[in-house]
Chain A
Amino acid sequence: MKHRRWLVLAVLVGVTALLASLVASVGNARPTATKASNAIAAPPVPNAAKLRKKFKGVKLTFVGDNAVGGSHVRDLALAKRFTKDTGIQVKVLPHPEKSDESYSQLARNFSSKSSAFDVVMMDVVWPGAFAPYLVNLKKPLGKAAKLHAKGIIQNSTIGGRLIAMPWFSDFGILYYRTDLLKKYGYKSPPKTWTQLGTMAKKIQAGERDSNPNFAGYVYQGNSYEGLTCNTLEWVASVGGGHLVDNGKASINNSKAAAILNLQRSWVGTIAPRGVTSYTEEEARIPFTNGNAAFMRNWPYAYSSGVAAGSKIKGKFSVTVLPHGPSSSSVGTIGGWELGVSKFSKHKPAAIELVRYLTSPAVQRFDAITNTNVPTIPAVAKNKAVVRTNPYLKPSIATVARVARPSKFLKGHYNEGSKIIYQGVSQILNGQDAKKVLPSIQSRLNRILR
């Protein structure tokens, strides 16, 4: 065919152009990953020689943090160091970005009794569901566990078995632009939700003149687990209870309805209309690109704000989230733990990997390079750690931490959380909270029975 050569050339050009535009658009949307590993090096493995003799050549699969960003860099750095010191091969498998998808991934693995995963990273609300499939770490790691915060260890001890070691903690905080606060005449960050509303409105209106996409306030409003965390903070900070109290659903009350309706009124006004489809990264990107005044997020986002090349470097700070007029600030407990699968073919080696990853030295490494909150109180007080993690200052670190109702929902936590976040998603998308909360309450009570 006479045109064949042209055809092939045109297809190659077309495909290359398509790929190039894809890469370019992705590159613009996501700021460069933080250079986490150049802060300090991954710490050495204690008694590495003994481990090398016992387990050399063993291959482990570690289901770790998100595929993109500083967390993945940290996982790879630690795995590399562990392999270098002990000879145990560690393959890092990033988990899905959305928390409920990550849960599904583990659920599928355990229900099929697969030996594919050795060490798994779990949200603090999942021990109740996965307890039967995890190895009891009390004997090998019980002594090391004493270093960690008691509350988290208690949370991970089910039926007397310690089924997970705390890895890093998390709690919701408020990020704000110090330069914009100054520009619009505010001396300090907002203390109440109404103050946040006023400040965000003024700043957004002023900034929109030069930046039509500027948003006053961003958070995780998508219909997923992150919305349950935001909801708990909103409701608990205005005295509306903790979604489930004393084993019964308590979300249907006037204070909760008021704060949820207030949040609903902000969608499309001071929060972008698209906030109801934002997860952590979609809220972080506008803020670290300089397009938002206030952001609610986990401490991990701090590292990308102070990274070299960040547009907001030196222009932002963190504080506790706002509260209602007669209540106090709270932060939802997040955090991740490490467990060893009962179906793993290399349980002793996997336990050693967990021992290394949850050691004080690695916690310090994680806190400094990835701004994750340590679960070992001694590490949290370390001067270098506090310097890189300003939210560990006592004024912020002592905020009341509220837990999601996994203790009451146990194996049905996923279902219960879904009832909450799907209901709140409907409210944020326009429905009156007073009409939605009763149905959330009754459905929760049905599975709490």
Chain B
Amino acid sequence: MSPSTEASTAARPRPRRRRSALQRKQTRLAWLMLLPALAAVGFVAFYPLGQTIYYSFTDQQFLAGIEPTKWVGLENYKDLIHDTLFRDSVVLTIKFTAITVGFEFVLGMIIALVVNSGFKGRGVMRAMMLVPWAIPTVVAAQMWKWMYNDIYGVVNDAGVRLHLISHNVAWISQPNTALASAAAVDIWKTTPFVALLLLAGLQVIPTELYEAARVDGASAWRQFWRITLPLLRPAILVALIFRTLDALRVFDVFYVFFGNRPDTQTMAIFAQDAIVGTGDVGYGSAACVAIFLIIGVFTVIYVTFMRVEQQ
């Protein structure tokens, strides 16, 4: 056996790390410096979470007056399970997530690929792309609400003039177009974000691979399938995780468009309406905990997927 392989096949003992006093001191200093930030995060994140979980077992009211709060155990959760409105809101939110993440991913990928290929004005394109993402969601939603209006809205006007639709459609009012119109706004707004994430991933792929593939005679589609997608996997997963968790918590667009209309409530609107609208903080907190668990399930799925990936 050659010396190099002998060395590599022999079990190499791990060098014992002797922590010097200096190293220990630096580690302690690092912890001390992190402590304020960790405490702040813990307080801001865990305290409200803890309080919400506590409230979900009581009948706390928003306008808590002279009546003391009562511990009601699992009663809020029992009511929640039988609440068809909550069930509908969960189904609607999951439908919304599937539609928007799907479209955003496909469109984002196309845009990222286009922007990645060098063309004149690409820098400008990259900047312009971000304009929808930069507009606050509530502002964008109100803007789109006026555009969707069935008497003076721009969408209807343009659609009729271009003969895409025969007459004005009440996009927001009609139950069969309501979800689509809200999803369209979210897709318009967030596709640039997904495109940017994927673009960042694309730019890391070395161009030599493509040249080599072209020399070997691979078609564009094969190049995409065999080179781009596999190497892009980390970026894709990041984009999917971000978008899925965000879409499950969607609130702004639905709130501006529909308020608390019963057939278009998302999980977040249901919880908000229960706490602030009805004033039943206990019930609303139970809904919040349920939402937290549902989103937790998705998180676990994704994280497991990622871990399997890394292996």
Interfacial residues, chain A to chain B (CB-CB below 8 A): 1, 3, 6-7, 10-11, 14-15, 18, 22, 25-26, 28-29, 98, 100, 104, 107-108, 110-111, 129-130, 132, 212-213, 215, 222-224, 268, 272-277, 282, 285-286, 289, 291, 411, 414-415, 418, 422, 425-426, 429-430
Contact of A273 among B124, B174, B257 (CB under 8 A): B174
Q: Of all chain B residues, which has the CB nearest A3?
A: B123
- Tell me the complex Cα distance, A422–B89, Å: 15
User: B75 within 8 Å of A by Cβ?
Assistant: no
User: B131 within 8 Å of A by Cβ?
Assistant: yes
Contact of A274 among B63, B121, B151 (CB under 8 A): B151
- Docked-complex contact A25 and B146, CB < 8 angstroms: yes
- Tell me the complex Cα distance, A430–B152, Å: 24
- Tell me the complex Cα distance, A100–B278, Å: 10
Contact of B260 among A213, A268, A418 (CB under 8 A): A418
Name, among A1, A223, A289, A415, the residue most crowded by chain B CB atoms within 10 Å (CB to CB).
A223
Contact of B123 among A1, A212, A414, A418 (CB under 8 A): A1
Q: Of all chain B residues, which has the CB nearest A1?
A: B123
- Docked-complex contact B150 and A272, CB < 8 angstroms: yes
The number of A-B residue pairs with CB atoms under 8 Å apart is 124
Q: Which residues on A sit within 8 Å (CB–CB) of B278? A: 414-415, 418
- Docked-complex contact B277 and A274, CB < 8 angstroms: no
Can you sample 11 A-B contacts with CB below 8 Å?
Answer: A3-B123, A7-B127, A11-B127, A107-B62, A111-B64, A212-B168, A273-B150, A276-B173, A418-B260, A418-B277, A426-B263
Map CB proximity to A onto B160-174 as digits: 1 under 8 Å, 0 otherwise. Answer: 100000011111111
Q: Of all chain B residues, which has the CB nearest A108?
A: B276
Closest 4 CB pairs of A and B: A273-B170, A274-B170, A274-B150, A223-B261
Q: How large is the interface on B (under 10, 10 to 19, 20 to 34, 35 or more residues)?
A: 35 or more
Q: Which residues on B sit within 8 Å (CB–CB) of A104? A: 276-277
- Docked-complex contact B173 and A429, CB < 8 angstroms: yes
Q: Which residues on A sit within 8 Å (CB–CB) of B262? A: 223, 422, 425-426
Map CB proximity to A onto B119-130 as digits: 1 under 8 Å, 0 otherwise. Answer: 001011001100
Contact of A25 among B147, B172, B173 (CB under 8 A): B147
In the assembled complex, the CB of B65 is this many whole angstroms from the nearest CB of chain A, namely 5
Do A98 and B173 contact each other (CB < 8 Å), given the known contacts A7-B123, A418-B277, A418-B278? no
- Tell me the complex Cα distance, A266–B4, Å: 87
Q: Which residues on A sit within 8 Å (CB–CB) of B65? A: 132, 411
Interfacial residues, chain B to chain A (CB-CB below 8 A): 62-66, 121, 123-124, 127-128, 131, 143, 146-147, 149-152, 154, 160, 167-175, 257-263, 273, 276-280
In the assembled complex, the CB of B212 is this many whole angstroms from the nearest CB of chain A, namely 30
Name, among A110, A224, A273, A426, the residue most crowded by chain B CB atoms within 10 Å (CB to CB).
A273
Q: Which residues on A sit within 8 Å (CB–CB) of B146? A: 25-26, 29
- Tell me the complex Cα distance, A26–B152, Å: 11
In the assembled complex, the CB of B189 is this many whole angstroms from the nearest CB of chain A, namely 13
Q: Which residues on A sit within 8 Å (CB–CB) of B131? A: 14-15, 18
- Tell me the complex Cα distance, A25–B124, Å: 26
Q: Which residues on A sit within 8 Å (CB–CB) of B127? A: 7, 10-11
Do A10 and B260 contact each other (CB < 8 Å), given the known contacts A25-B146, A213-B151? no
- Docked-complex contact B151 and A223, CB < 8 angstroms: no
- Tell me the complex Cα distance, A132–B172, Å: 39
In the assembled complex, the CB of A25 is this many whole angstroms from the nearest CB of chain B, namely 6
Q: Of all chain A residues, which has the CB nearest B154?
A: A25
- Tell me the complex Cα distance, A129–B276, Å: 13
Q: Of all chain B residues, which has the CB nearest A426?
A: B262
- Tell me the complex Cα distance, A222–B175, Å: 13
Contact of A422 among B123, B143, B149, B260 (CB under 8 A): B260
Q: Which residues on A sit within 8 Å (CB–CB) of B173? A: 273-277, 429
In the assembled complex, the CB of B153 is this many whole angstroms from the nearest CB of chain A, namely 9
- Docked-complex contact B261 and A422, CB < 8 angstroms: yes
Besides A274-B149, A286-B151, A425-B262, 9 new A-B residue pairs in contact (Cβ under 8 A), listed by A number: A14-B131, A18-B131, A25-B146, A29-B146, A212-B160, A273-B150, A273-B174, A282-B149, A418-B278
In the assembled complex, the CB of B110 is this many whole angstroms from the nearest CB of chain A, namely 21
Q: Which residues on B sit within 8 Å (CB–CB) of A425? A: 261-262
Q: Which residues on B sit within 8 Å (CB–CB) of A129? A: 63
- Docked-complex contact B63 and A3, CB < 8 angstroms: no
